[in-house]
């Protein structure tokens, strides 16, 4: 799994998770926008940046780094990028740096150069294996990234149940459930998407973001326009997309309510092409 990208996706889709990590009220996320920003000199890019969406000068911006491999140059790079950014943009907010590690053994502290700044209130280092106690949905999703395969399914099931209880039906709930499923797919590469969906209780595709966006809306549009060829093309596209996700012909037929005899020719034509 490309860990940093999945973390940034978590922060993008559910920014409250970041503030839960910091033991701050999750509603803080409502005052921030998660983005990335290029620092022109030397082509630095700040990949994880929570920037205030208000004019409050006391509200900090957060530079976030996810580091799952030992890196002797990490702090040299982070602070070089940070201070170059401050020089170029001179933002009207105080800065904070948050570094997320799987454990303390991954960190390379370089105390001879950075001990004072690392021990200041401006820098927070989070070790995921040390998170304890009851956590919110966001922290639970983050912990799923580092969970062992043996507990990943059970943890994901609990998170999906939690998301269904506390999030509005759409679109956020669908996005978060899709995100949880994606993390499990990365963690269990030997299992097909169909198998994972079944283990997570997501076999009813009609409740997922994929179905809502790719099937329901498109099919209704085709029905409203009264074009049989449009409906057939939509069905064909969905069959092929499901097949690319690892669903077998029988499962596709069951999901879409079609006879298997209608699904097989679509797949065969695609293979011939």
pLDDT tens column, 207-248: 555 555 555 555 455 445 445 555 677 778 778 877 776 677
Residues 195 and 124 in one domain: no
Candidates 153, 212, 154, 223; CA nearest to 188 is 153
Candidates 253, 239, 157; CA nearest to 201 is 157
DSSP per-residue letters across 256-272: HT--HHHHHHHHHHHHH
Q: How many domains does the chain have?
A: 3
Q: Are 250 and 260 in contact (CB under 8 A)?
A: yes
Residues 196 and 209 in one domain: no
Separation between Cα atoms, residue 70 and residue 83, nearest integer Å: 23
CATH of the domain at 56: 3.40.1350
| pLDDT level of residue 142 (50, 70, 90 thresholds) | very high
DSSP 60: P
Residues 137 and 152 in one domain: no
Residues 87 and 120 in one domain: yes
Residues 94 and 189 in one domain: no
> pLDDT at position 226, please?
47
Domain limits for position 158: 147-202
> pLDDT at position 245, please?
63
pLDDT in tens, 58-78: 999 999 999 999 999 999 999
Question: What is the distance of C-alpha 117 from the center of its chain?
Answer: 30
Q: Tokens in use for 158?
A: 């609990």
Q: What is the mean pLDDT of residues 22-37?
A: 89
Residues 44 and 178 in one domain: no
> pLDDT at position 8, please?
86
Residues 99 and 26 in one domain: yes
Residues 123 and 170 in one domain: no
> What does pTM read for this prediction?
0.71
| Maximum alpha-carbon separation in the chain | 72
Residues 97 and 19 in one domain: yes
| pLDDT level of residue 111 (50, 70, 90 thresholds) | confident
């Amino acid at each position: 799994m490309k860990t940093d990208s999945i973390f940034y996706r978590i922060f993008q889709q559910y920014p409250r998770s970041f503030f839960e990590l910091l033991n701050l009220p999750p509603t803080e996320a409502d005052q921030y926008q998660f983005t990335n920003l290029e620092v022109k000199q030397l082509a630095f890019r700040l990949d994880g940046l929570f920037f205030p969406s208000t004019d409050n000068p006391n509200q900090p911006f957060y530079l976030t780094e996810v580091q799952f491999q030992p890196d002797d140059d990490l702090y040299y790079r982070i602070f070089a990028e940070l201070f170059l950014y401050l020089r170029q943009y001179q933002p009207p907010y105080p800065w904070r740096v948050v570094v997320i590690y799987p454990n303390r053994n991954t960190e390379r502290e370089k105390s001879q150069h950075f001990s004072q700044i690392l021990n200041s209130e401006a820098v927070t280092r989070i070790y995921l294996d040390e998170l304890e106690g009851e956590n919110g949905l966001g922290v639970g999703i983050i912990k799923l990234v580092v969970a062992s395969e043996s507990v990943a399914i059970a943890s994901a099931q609990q998170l999906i149940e939690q998301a269904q209880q506390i999030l509005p039906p759409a679109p956020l709930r669908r996005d978060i459930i899709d995100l949880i499923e994606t993390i499990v797919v990365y963690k269990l590469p030997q299992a097909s998407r169909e198998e994972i969906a079944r283990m997570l209780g997501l076999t009813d595709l009609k409740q997922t973001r994929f179905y809502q966006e790719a099937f329901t809306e498109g099919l209704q549009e085709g029905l409203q326009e009264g074009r049989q060829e449009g409906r057939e093309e939509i069905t064909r596209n969905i069959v092929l997309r499901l097949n690319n996700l690892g669903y077998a012909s029988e499962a596709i037929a069951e999901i879409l309510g079609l006879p298997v005899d209608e699904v097989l020719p679509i797949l065969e034509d695609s293979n011939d092409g």
